[in-house]
Amino acid sequence: MDSTIQAFFAPCPRGLEAVLAEELTDLGAADIKATAGGVAFRGTLALCYRINLQSRIASRILLRIAEGAYRDEHDVYDAAKAIRWQDWFTPQQRIKVKVSAHRCPLTSLDFVTLRVKDAVCDRFQYARGKRPSVDTHTPDILIAVYLDSTTCTFYLDTSGEPLFKRGWRKSAGEAPVRENLAAGILRLSKWTPDTVLYDPMCGSGTFVVEAALMARRIAPGIGRRFAFEKLLSYDHQTLTDLRVELQAAEIPARPGLIHAADHSAQAVTSIKANLALAGLTETVTLQQGDVLQLPAPAEAGLLVTNPPYGHRMGEVEALQSFYPQFGDHLKKHFCGWTVQIFTADMKLPGLLSLAPSRRVPLFNGAIECRLFEFRMVAGSLRKPRPHDSSPPAR
C-alpha cells in the first residue's frame, strides 16, 4: 500500500469541528486544523480507509489533490486541466463535479461546474484518447471543488454515500437527527459507556443506536462500501485487514446500560426495526410510554434527548404546557443525572424553569440549534416560576 502522506478534509455538521478534531487525533491523523464546517488533516491512504470506517462524526472524507489561485473561470479550468486525473481513475468511470463556494466572486457556480467537467474530460482526451461520461445520480467518482475568494481546491471524495448513512436506518420516524450529529452530541456530552444513558423521547432511536455502537466498539462503517474502492489506488487487502481488525475489537454490551422510550407506538416499532437491523436489540432496553410517567432507569446517568419541536399552532400550545411538566419531572426524578437537550427552541430552558450549565450552538442542516446541558443537583438549579411555591426537588 502506498505510504505517501496525503492531505484530506473531513466536513461535519457545524458546531462539531472541535470534537471531530479530537476523534481524528484518536484515529491517528496528523496536522489537524479545524475550520468552519470541517477539519483538515494529513495521513496515508490507509488512514483514510480507517477514518471512513471508524469516524462517527465526519460527514465524508475528501482527498485533496490540488489547489491554485484563480480570478476567473478560465483559471479554474486551467487548474483543473493541469491535474493528472488519469493517475486516480479511468475514462470508463462516470464522474460528477460538485462545486461549493464561500465569498467566491464568480457569478455562476453552474458554469464553473461545467468548466471543471470540461477540463477533466479534455485532460483524459489528451492522456487516454477517451472522455469519461457524466452521471449526476450514481457517479463512480465525485470531484468536489471548493472556491474561496482567491483559491480553488480540488478534492476526490473517498466516502461515496455520506458517512452518516450507517446502513441501520430502516425507518426514519419523526424528524430524525443525523447519525453523525447524534454521535457528536454524545462526544460533546463526554458520554462514556460506563454511564447509564437514557433517551425518553427517542423517535427512531438515533442517540441510543449511536451510543450502543460506541459501547460495543462497533465501527459505524463496518458494513458499508466506500468511494475509495473505485480509485486506481485502491488496495483491497488493506481494507480486508482493517475490517478483520475492527471486527475482532467488538465487545458485548453491558445489560442495563442504554435505555430508550417513546410514547408513540409507531416510533417504538420503527426503533425496533432499526435496532434489529443494527444487531443491537439486546443492547438497548426499549419501552413505550409517556416521558412524564416513566421513572428514571437508574440512580444517575446521562439523559440525552431531542424533544418535539412545534411548528403548527396547536403543537406549539401543547408544548407550552408540556415543557414545564417535563422540567418538574426532571427536578423530581432525575437528581444526580446530567441532562442534555438538543433543540431548535432557544426558549427551552425558560420553559423548563432550569438554568443550563452549558449551551453549545450546533446546526442541524441549515437550522440553528442548541445543546443545553442541565446538571440535576437537588434544589440548586431551580429558577422559581411565578406563583410556584412548591419545595425544591430532593
Ligand X SMILES: C[S@@+](CC[C@H](N)C(=O)[O-])C[C@H]1O[C@@H](n2cnc3c(N)ncnc32)[C@H](O)[C@@H]1O
Residues that bind ligand X (CB under 6 A): 173-177, 200-204, 206, 262-264, 267, 290-292, 306-308
Q: In whole angstroms, how close is the CB of 321 to ligand X at the nearest point?
A: 11
Beta-sheet strand order (sheet of 95-101): 30-35, 38-43, 6-11, 62-69, 151-157, 141-147, 95-101
Contact call for residues 11 and 38 (beta carbons, < 8 A): yes
What grid cell was written down for 72? Answer: 476567473
Q: In whole angstroms, how close is the CB of 381 to ligand X at the nearest point?
A: 21
What grid cell was written down for 85? Answer: 486525473
Q: Residue 76 or 182: which CB sits closer to ligand X?
A: 182
Q: Quick check: helix, strand or coil at residue 155?
A: strand
Residue 155 CA to residue 142 CA, distance in Å, equals 8
Phi, psi of 354 (to 5 degrees): -130, 145
Residue 380 CA to residue 375 CA, distance in Å, equals 9
DSSP string across 207-232: HHHHHHHHHTT--TTTT---GGGGST
Q: In whole angstroms, how close is the CB of 315 to ligand X at the nearest point?
A: 10
Q: Residue 180 or 353: which CB sits closer to ligand X?
A: 180
What grid cell was written down for 293? Answer: 410517567
- CA dihedral sign of residues 87, 91, 94, 98: positive
Beta bridge partners of 41: 8
Q: Residue 2 or 290: which CB sits closer to ligand X?
A: 290
Q: Residue 289 or 379: which CB sits closer to ligand X?
A: 289
Q: In whole angstroms, how close is the CB of 179 to ligand X at the nearest point?
A: 9
Q: Residue 227 or 352: which CB sits closer to ligand X?
A: 352
Q: Residue 201 or 219: which CB sits closer to ligand X?
A: 201
Length reported for the chain = 394
Q: Residue 87 or 290: which CB sits closer to ligand X?
A: 290
